[in-house]
Amino acid sequence: MAYQRVAIVGAGITKFVRRAHETGKELAAQAAKMALDSCGMTMKDIESVSLGTAPDAFDGVHMKGEYLSDGSGGWRKPYMRQFVGGGTGVFAPIHGWYHVASGMFDTCLVVCSEKMSSCHPHPQGAFKTIFDHTTEQALNPTLIWIFALEMNRYMSTYGITKEEIALVSVKNKKNAMDHPAAQLPMEITVEDVLNSETLAWPVNRLDISPASDGAAAIVLASEHTAKRITDKPVWIDGVGWNLDTAYWATRDLYYPRYVEKAARMAYEMAGITEPKREIEIAEPYDPFDYKELHHMEGLLLADRGKAVEMLLDGKTQRDGDRPMCPSGGALGVGNPIAATGLMKVIEIFLQLRGEAGKRQVPGNPRCGLAQAWGDLMQVGTVVVLRR
């Protein structure tokens, strides 16, 4: 397949907070401005804009893509909105990638903005309508049900305990203490997680990422353009995405097959044959703590049911052999849905450039991965980055 090589050359992010004074447009503009400033570019240098944002129901604003377009720099430009639920934050850079890879544009600004706080009494209420209107909504489901059902199935398939899974939350919230955008950085213990309020067993409050407002942005450039902008481009060498059936109760939840398919697509493009060895650092999507382990398995970074062993051995710590979510992840930095996935891409970008400050992992990694997940627990989105 012939395409232009695409690099990330700049990045920006706002703080992630429970409720921001700024509108979604203003958050988008703050992150976009920072991304342009970080690489000495202006909006005039941007040929196309890819926006990611999750359900319109959060904002109560229909056509949210259009609503956020001016803040994102999308006005009077080829502009496209991406939306695959929680998978959006990695789907938007994939779209930006093929705007540039196709040869259609030499630059693309990717912006992900989310304002969940507008929805009252709680943005979780907006999720009720993702369930089938006739066969499921009548049972009054909450989003936590599907996570609790999946976590229970995952735990009982492999004999993994809540104590073990809680270690992910402990790790990520601690990692977030070094992230300047973090909403929930904290030092907690496994007991704190187990003793926090039981929302839907096996899910306790500290197993879950928070609702957040925030935005993130990156600048993409073609190879010849990137080399004029920076001497430290980070290349998007593989992209993959995949969707499973919306009849979620009819597929076994213990394993995310669609994540594996997305990963295999990205690995093939990047020429990766041994992901366990070649992916040195990763940001799997962690809206709930068990999801980090579940996704490591889907991403083929751990054998099925064995991600927990890497966790217990300390391998997934920031100074371990295979750091997972060195940013602090959705659990620690926060989870403004679309912006979270892009925050993860930015973390790998910074880590590969050696610019992650106190969060920097040792060993000068050359190859990393960011992943997001969403819709009705059915979509996987993956990018492989190299310096």
Partner 1 sequence: MELEKFELGATPLKESAMKDGKVLTLHKKPNLKYAWDNGPAIDRYLAELKKGRIIARKCNKCRRIMIPPRMFCELCWRPTDEWVYVEDTGVVNTFSICYVNWDASRIKKGDKPHLPAVIEIDGASDGMGILHVLGEVEPDKVKIGMKVKAVWKKPEEREGAITDILYFKPMRG
Question: Of residues 240-259, which lie at the interface with partner 1 (CB under 8 A)?
Answer: 245, 247, 249-253
Cβ-based nearer residue to partner 1, 260 or 301: 260
Element containing residue 183 per DSSP (H, E): none
Cβ-based nearer residue to partner 1, 5 or 38: 38
Determine if 195 is a binding residue for partner 1 (CB under 8 A): no
Determine if 21 is a binding residue for partner 1 (CB under 8 A): yes
Cβ-based nearer residue to partner 1, 121 or 273: 121
Reading the block at residue 345, the tokens are 């891409």
Minimum gap (Å) between residue 378 Cβ and partner 1: 11
Cβ-based nearer residue to partner 1, 38 or 77: 38
What secondary structure letter does DSSP report for 322?
S
Nearest CA to 367 out of 267, 221, 225 is that of: 267
Whole-number Å distance between alpha carbons of 7 and 4: 10
Minimum gap (Å) between residue 356 Cβ and partner 1: 8
For residue 244, give Cα distances in angstroms to 28, 53, 140. Answer: 30, 21, 23
Contact map string, positions 145 to 184, toward partner 1, x by CB under 8 A: x--xxx-xx--x----------------------xxx---
Nearest CA to 383 out of 7, 109, 4 is that of: 7
* 138 Cβ contact partners less than 8 Å away, ≥ 6 residues apart: none
Q: Which stretch binds partner 1 (CB under 8 A): 132-140, 158-166, 270-278, 302-310?
A: 132-140
Q: How many residues does the chain have?
A: 387
Minimum gap (Å) between residue 273 Cβ and partner 1: 29
Reading the block at residue 199, the tokens are 């929302």
Whole-number Å distance between alpha carbons of 212 and 286: 14
Cβ-based nearer residue to partner 1, 62 or 76: 62
Determine if 355 is a binding residue for partner 1 (CB under 8 A): yes
Do residues 43 and 99 make contact, with C-beta atoms less than 8 angstroms apart?
Answer: no
Minimum gap (Å) between residue 149 Cβ and partner 1: 5
Q: Determine the residue type at 325.
A: C
Minimum gap (Å) between residue 315 Cβ and partner 1: 25
Binds partner 1 (CB under 8 A): choice among 45, 56, 136, 278: 136
Reading the block at residue 145, the tokens are 């049900």
Reading the block at residue 348, the tokens are 């790998």
For residue 141, give Cα distances in angstroms to 125, 129, 210, 215, 328. Answer: 10, 9, 19, 29, 29
Minimum gap (Å) between residue 202 Cβ and partner 1: 7
Binds partner 1 (CB under 8 A): choice among 133, 159, 187, 231: 133
Q: Of residues 41-60, which lie at the interface with partner 1 (CB under 8 A)?
A: 60
Binds partner 1 (CB under 8 A): choice among 5, 34, 190, 223: 34
